[in-house]
Structure 1
């Protein structure tokens, strides 16, 4: 098992004066939720996620050697425009990862980044954004250390992405990723996400995720604040144990094609996540009335048709509608006829299971 020290390079065998890399990394949606963390972005419980395909961040990283300056130096552009509001987060990220990428202060970086999903669409872009940046930085390190194995490259990229945004470590590989030590998952680790190696039933291949944009505004409470409220939470211990148990059940459902078990666990996990928010101190509610309307409509439709469609939620009001590819025509018709009315400006995004980060 790799430790943090294994990600500190012992020296580089090559040099590079300048260059450019371009990677994309997708968003992901957790089936078993990570909520609560320890120091250094270590999760309080394991999670498992679907890697998405269409909702992604595309980042180009240009780098140029500079003279004896120990400060971090970078320019940041979002969709072609300077984005100073992102600077503190990147600065903090560089500080966290400097011990693992000692070349960071040797170069001036120009970061061009864009999302394939609408800005302020209510979809968290920190996971895809930090994963894409981590992939580019690892490409620079591989120039300096060409003997690096692919396995080490991807594990370290996930490790670095985690230090920028916890769930970003699940956006490096795909299509189903486990993050956090789990006794029934081989090679699982707190330091990085690992692709699920178990065989998955054909019904879960090409699984669909239609994201209903209920509220595109900024969240009232940041995820960092929400995670920290799990310290001393009256139900934290039971919740962390529940996540371990539910991860085992999701893996069983994925393996056996048991959509009923999958639905029960995934929907319960989504509601449990929001229950933790509602019972923390201070407490908060991120669901909106239309979130609940959509959930009830999905339940009614499933009961009437027997089609194994379900919902999950992230730490916000938007609803992810999950369903098999074979049912996509009927589900999309249901979404257009019954659910779009509850979306802000009738907006929704269609996505599908993806494979993870891609280099251009």
Structure 2
């Protein structure tokens, strides 16, 4: 698939079925980028490729009910944990408007979307990736009901394509434990249009890799990711950063294949700090890290030097810290987090997670 037009649903195909109503339920996880995507072009196209670990426990569960209606047009009700949530509706409305040209059948139905997160809504974890991924696979289930001949490969690619139009990073939550999004010459099948499961074997050192999320700040970010991405358009270091991301992704691909944990630590932490350096050097400039973020980083460095355990951190566009480490080091690192790092978290709150595999159909 090299063109967005490949994802347009053809309404006049004789093999398509008529479906009056139905319901599907899917879960979709969040993900954490190791090579960061920061800056985008029109239509949610990334300015540079990214690579992420899919998470396992931090996820959104969404039920999509649909019933055919007489008048064409976008029509939906939105529930969050069973209760109407008007504040979320504009984002879903915009998403439907973006995808209706690829999924014209959505204008034929009224949808009821009921969504819930396995993590607290105020936990400071962005739910847009998991939420949009869960909605995208539900919509693709409707499309598969209309077109039962659809292949699984097409289902997953178009689901990722649709999720990207809701939230860029959501395209990395559809399938696979290691996902690449964005064209990269040495990653076969990579695309700006959707994420793909890494087409190479990942070393056993990274099997069930652990991610403990330290919730430093549960509040809303001062600067949204959308605004941050836009500030890359005139950023003095943007082109060098985009070039660096390609180089780092090639290096990380090699690291994941060889299992070199020391190189993994160095590259992942450098990527995290580079992301925040771009924020601090944009105009207007901004800082999303908090004092406790830096306290945690310094203690991770001290602990790693003292114990030689290859624990490292990464950050997304916020103050919270993802602590990454091999499964075999779980007891020692968790004790360290409880004893030393949890005091820097809001209400000493952290979430234990690990590498997962993407979306799951529940019913």
TM-score normalized by the length of structure 2: 0.98
1:70 Cα offset (Å): 2.4
C-alpha distance in structure 2 between counterparts of 1:28 and 1:85, whole Å:
24
C-alpha distance in structure 1 between counterparts of 2:129 and 2:311, whole Å:
25
Q: Secondary structure at the match of 1:216?
A: coil
Q: Secondary structure at the match of 2:285?
A: coil
1:9 Cα offset (Å): 1.6
C-alpha distance in structure 1 between counterparts of 2:119 and 2:258, whole Å:
33
1:118 Cα offset (Å): 0.6
Alignment-derived partner of residue 141 in structure 1: 143
C-alpha distance in structure 2 between counterparts of 1:210 and 1:98, whole Å:
38
1:174 Cα offset (Å): 1.5
CA RMSD of aligned residues (A): 0.6
Q: Does 1:245 align with 2:247?
A: yes
Q: Superposition pairs for residues 4-83 of structure 1, below 5 Å?
A: 4-11=4-11, 12=13, 13-67=16-70, 69-83=71-85
Alignment-derived partner of residue 198 in structure 1: 200
C-alpha distance in structure 1 between counterparts of 2:339 and 2:235, whole Å:
41
1:232 Cα offset (Å): 1.1
Deviations 1:176-224 (A, max 9, x none): 0000000110100000000002111111000000000000000001110
Deviations 1:93-145 (A, max 9, x none): 00000011001110000000000001111000000000000000000000000
Q: Superposition pairs for residues 207-226 of structure 1, below 5 Å?
A: 207-226=209-228
1:10 Cα offset (Å): 2.0
Q: Does 1:293 align with 2:295?
A: yes
C-alpha distance in structure 1 between counterparts of 2:29 and 2:129, whole Å:
8
Q: Secondary structure at the match of 2:143?
A: helix
1:3 Cα offset (Å): 1.0
Q: Secondary structure at the match of 1:127?
A: helix
Q: Secondary structure at the match of 1:54?
A: strand
C-alpha distance in structure 1 between counterparts of 2:40 and 2:84, whole Å:
32
Q: Secondary structure at the match of 2:144?
A: helix
Q: Secondary structure at the match of 2:169?
A: helix
Q: Does 1:3 align with 2:3?
A: yes
Match of 1:131 among 127, 130, 133: 133
Q: Superposition pairs for residues 261-280 of structure 1, below 5 Å?
A: 261-280=263-282
Deviations 1:245-273 (A, max 9, x none): 00011111111010111111100000000
Q: Does 1:335 align with 2:328?
A: no
1:2 Cα offset (Å): 3.0
Match of 2:109 among 107, 110, 134: 107
TM-score normalized by the length of structure 1: 0.99
C-alpha distance in structure 1 between counterparts of 2:208 and 2:175, whole Å:
16
Alignment-derived partner of residue 231 in structure 2: 229
Q: Does 1:167 align with 2:147?
A: no
Displaced runs of 4+ in structure 1, greater than 4 A? none
Q: Secondary structure at the match of 1:177?
A: strand
Deviations 1:62-113 (A, max 9, x none): 000001x222110000011100001100000000000110011100000000
C-alpha distance in structure 1 between counterparts of 2:260 and 2:186, whole Å:
19
Count how many residue pairs are aligned between Structure 1 and Structure 2.
359
Q: Secondary structure at the match of 1:239?
A: helix
Structure 2: runs of 5+ lacking an equivalent: none
Q: Superposition pairs for residues 82-101 of structure 1, below 5 Å?
A: 82-101=84-103
Alignment-derived partner of residue 259 in structure 2: 257
